[in-house]
Every structure is written in C-alpha cells, then in structure tokens.
Amino acid sequence: MKRNMDAPQIDLMRQSEIMARIAQRNGSRPERPAAFVDTYGCQQNEADSERIRGMLSKMGYAFTNDESSADVVVINTCAVREHAEMRVLGNIGALSHAKKANRDMVIAVCGCMVQQEHMAEKIKKSYPYVDLVFGTHELPRFPELLESVLKPNRKRVFAVTSSDGEIAEGLPVHRDRGVKAWLPVMYGCNNFCSYCVVPYVRGRERSRMPESIVEEAKSIVLEGYKDITLLGQNVNSYGRDLNRGVDFSYLIEEIDKIDGDFIIRFMTSHPKDATRRLFETMAGCRKAAPHIHLPFQAGNDRVLKAMNRGYTKNGYLELVAEAKEVIPDIVLTSDVIVGFPGETDEEFEDTLDVLKKVRFDSLFTFIYSPRKGTPAAGMPDPFTREDKQRRFDRLLELQYAISAEKHAEYVGRTVRVLVDGETGDEKANLSSRTAGGRLVHIRGDADNIGKFKDVKITGSTTWALFGEIV
C-alpha cells in the first residue's frame, strides 16, 4: 500500500491558519480561556490527547483541571470495554449542569467510542448539549471543527468518517508527563482478533516514516524526557506498509543511537509477530528496556483459535523461552481475558498453566466484555458472570503470589532506577521505575525527579519494591 502523504500536509496548513485565527481571537479576550481534556483508555489515546492539547495550546487556550470552569471540554473516549463507555457516558451526563451554568462552554467528545456509529447516534439523541463529536480519523481537523462550533448561532457538528485515515505529521504536541513521553510509531491494526473493536475504530495499520519518528525522538530527548515509549497496537509489524525494508528493530536501533541517557520502551507486541531479531535488538541496544509486554490472552488452543490470535499455547511458551534465553533478566508482562465466549473451566486451566510456566512479573487481567459488531459478540456463551468471576479470582490469586515472589527476589540487590514522581506517602515519598518497569518507592528530595539513581532494594510487596538511594 502506498500512502499519499501530500493531502494531509496541505490540510494541515489550513488547520494551522485556523489555529492562528482562533489564537488571535482568544488573545483579545481579557483572560486566557481554559480547556479541560479528559482521556480514557490506552496510551494511544493519551498520545492523541497530547496532540489535542498541543492544538488547543496553539489556539491560545490555557489548561485547567476543573471541567466546570473550562471554556472547552474535550472527552477523548475508549471503546475497548463496556465499563469504560459507561464511565464516559456518566461523565458526559454530569456535564449537563456545567453547561447550564455556562451556555458558551464547548463540549467535544472524540476517540474510539464515538467512532462506532451507534455510540455517535446515542450522543446525538441523548446528550443534546454536546456540541462536537469527532472520530479517530478526524483528529487533525480538530481546529476546523472547533472553529465551526465557536461561531455565533452555533450548530452541533458530527464528524465521524470511516476511512482508514492518513498520518498527519507535524501536529503540535503538548506533553506534560514530566519524565515520560509517548511516541506513536504506527496507527491502526490489521489483526481482527475476534473480541476486539480496535481495527474497526482505528482503521488499518499505518506506519509513520522512520525519519519522522527519529526526529521526534531527538526533540523529546532534547526537551529532557528520560523515558520514551514507542506506541502502536502491534509494533512488531511496524514498517510492513512502507515497503522500505525497515522494521521495528531498525527503529529501536536508530533511536538507541541518539545521544543522551534515556530508556526506550514499547508497546504492544503481538506474539505472532515477535521475533528473535527483536529480542537480539533489545539485548544489543543499551537504551532498550529489558521488558516486553506480550499479551497471550488465553492459554487454550481452541480458545486462541476462536480469538483469531494466530498462535498456540506451545508457540507462545517457545517464544517466551527464546526471549528469556536472549535476555536473561527480561521483565515479562501480559494481558489475559477470562471468560471468552464458550471458554470452559478445563480450558481456563490452560491459562493458569501459562502463568505457572512463564511466571510473569505482572498481568493486566480482564473479564471478557462483548463489543458490538465483533465476531465474538455473536458467539454462544453458556457461562454466567459468576463462573467467570470465580475463574478471575483464581487467576488473580495465582498471579499475586507469583508477583510477590518475583519482587522478593529483588531484595538485597542494587538496581538503577529513573525517579519519576512523588507518591504523597511520607515514608517513601518518591516513585521510580527500574529499566524493566518495576515500581520502586524510595525516600529523597524532589529534585531527584527526572534523574537516574542507584537504589538498594530493602523490601517488597505484590505491587512494588522499596529501596534506599545509595
């Protein structure tokens, strides 16, 4: 697939002109108007919100944490689980009071949830005070869309297209995560796992040009960020659509060459596309974190096939063995779905078996949530919520024990950490992460934030390590 990069760049110039126009209007107001951006869901959404904030900042908006006093509220939504959608709808509902108090407030809802037609319709009908709804592919047109709802006698605007989207380079980015930066390397997904809505709401895989990514990485390092996470739904297929002979390992190698002391992380890796070359690249690049998040989702081959995951339990275990062989101190994390339609108690035992064999450092665990329009949502499922909850509890109990044991193995060791923030707890007032991503609570001055420190580990729990700066 060859992408046409020209069209979005020309449109981007138009968006820049609109941003300048809005900034001029905002500049003539006695007080700088304020915006509130609320983000749900994954890191990709966080990265999109940084671009939304970047555009808002260029348009002359300051930022507030108080949505009721904001002039513009943007809610960037997630569609991965029903629970997240319910939370978003609850929060949109609560905004009706703020809107009554301030009729000029602009309420915008964007992201994956509203990319689904039925949800965009729901907002149109049930939340008449929402001014603007825009889907994932419309993000670069945010200034134009905002300008149309800022006009006198404003009309509601709904912009949800079903194209696979282009990549718009050069959008302003407003990062405020202190020492950590997200860096999207690709968008969309081609995998169509049978439970997942992402390919429908984010379109097909589109890789950014390696030069653009490396340039952005350089500027992130220059700005002082110490921890860069390369983002994509399936980073291991990076570059396939570019036909330039570049892959994800190449990208890590190029970013590793940038001068400076920083860590390179990435997510998410799909097991069917992870390779020995990736592990060897991680081992060979000094700045690459010895951590891989490798979602296995289920341990049973029939369930994996029904999920359309493209690997088997043994294939996954062999891959993990290879990763451990190439990077002996690798930190492994994963995602698991419990209660996929039709998964039996016996089949669930295979999931527990994977936990016992791999011994993940930590897990992100979910009870299956049907997503409208996906094949799995139409599969028969004789098991009750209670059956699934019972399995879920067993899964957590096992994983908590493994995490606690793995954390206890750190006690007495000295590890290098990046101090990334304050905890609010007097006894261990700073939080930090090892290169492998383990959370370490320490005591020290706040001016350690953003610095690498050697820390002696003195204690551990299921969720964190505790240590002293040496």
Stretch that binds ligand SF4, among 188-196, 257-265, 366-374, 382-390 (CB under 6 A): 188-196
- State the minimum distance, in angstroms, from the CB of residue 202 to ligand SF4: 8
Stretch that binds ligand SF4, among 196-204, 206-214, 281-289, 405-413 (CB under 6 A): 196-204
Q: Evaluate the omega torsion of the peptide bond into residue 229 and state whether it is cis, within 30 degrees of 0.
A: no
187 touches 203 (CB < 8 A): yes
**Residue in 219, 259, 55 with CA at minimum distance from that of residue 138:** 55
**For ligand SF4, what does the binding mask look like between residues 130 and 169, x meaning CB under 6 A?**
----------------------------------------
Candidates 34, 171, 189, 338: give the one binding ligand SF4 (CB under 6 A). Answer: 189
- State the minimum distance, in angstroms, from the CB of residue 349 to ligand SF4: 23
Give 98 or 304: the residue with its C-beta nearer to ligand SF4: 304
Stretch that binds ligand SF4, among 14-22, 110-118, 150-158, 193-201 (CB under 6 A): 193-201
DSSP one-letter code for 131: -
Question: Residue 66 and residue 28: Cα distance in Å, rounded?
Answer: 23
Structure tokens at 453: 């420190």
Pick out residues in 20-49 that bind ligand SF4 (CB under 6 A). none
- State the minimum distance, in angstroms, from the CB of residue 270 to ligand SF4: 5
Stretch that binds ligand SF4, among 52-60, 121-129, 184-192, 456-464 (CB under 6 A): 184-192
Candidates 19, 37, 196, 323: give the one binding ligand SF4 (CB under 6 A). Answer: 196
Candidates 19, 95, 181, 198: give the one binding ligand SF4 (CB under 6 A). Answer: 198
Q: Is 176 exposed, middle or buried (0-12, 13-18, 19+ CB in 10 A)?
A: exposed
138 touches 171 (CB < 8 A): no
Q: Report the 10 Å Cβ neighbour count for 441.
A: 20
Stretch that binds ligand SF4, among 28-36, 121-129, 133-141, 186-194 (CB under 6 A): 186-194
CA distances from 168 to 189, 212, 229 (A): 17, 11, 20
Candidates 58, 175, 270, 287: give the one binding ligand SF4 (CB under 6 A). Answer: 270
- State the minimum distance, in angstroms, from the CB of residue 466 to ligand SF4: 34
Strand ranges for 287-392 from DSSP E: 291-293, 331-338, 362-367
- Size (the chain), residues: 470
Stretch that binds ligand SF4, among 187-195, 243-251, 390-398, 455-463 (CB under 6 A): 187-195
- Residue reference for tokens 């134009």: 144
- State the minimum distance, in angstroms, from the CB of residue 309 to ligand SF4: 7
233 touches ligand SF4 (CB under 6 A): yes
Q: Which residues touch 269 (CB under 8 Å, ≥6 apart)?
A: 234, 235, 236, 278, 292, 293, 294, 295
Candidates 234, 269, 403, 432: give the one binding ligand SF4 (CB under 6 A). Answer: 234
Stretch that binds ligand SF4, among 161-169, 194-202, 396-404, 428-436 (CB under 6 A): 194-202
Candidates 193, 298, 319, 320: give the one binding ligand SF4 (CB under 6 A). Answer: 193
3-state class (DSSP) for residue 288: strand
Q: Report the 10 Å Cβ neighbour count for 276.
A: 12
**Residue in 172, 160, 169 with CA at minimum distance from that of residue 23:** 172
192 touches ligand SF4 (CB under 6 A): yes
Structure tokens at 59: 């348009």
Query: HSE-up of 330 (CA within 13 Å, CB side)?
Result: 26
191 touches ligand SF4 (CB under 6 A): yes
Pick out residues in 376-435 that bind ligand SF4 (CB under 6 A). none
Question: Residue 455 and residue 440: Cα distance in Å, rounded?
Answer: 9
Give 199 or 341: the residue with its C-beta nearer to ligand SF4: 199
Question: How many residues bind ligand SF4, per CB under 6 A?
Answer: 10
Q: Which helix (H) or strand (E) holds 195?
A: none
**Residue in 281, 273, 271, 288 with CA at minimum distance from that of residue 354:** 271
Give 74 or 235: the residue with its C-beta nearer to ligand SF4: 235
- State the minimum distance, in angstroms, from the CB of residue 244 to ligand SF4: 23
| The one-letter amino acid at 51 | R
Residues within the interface to ligand SF4 (CB under 6 A):
189, 191-193, 196, 198-199, 233-234, 270
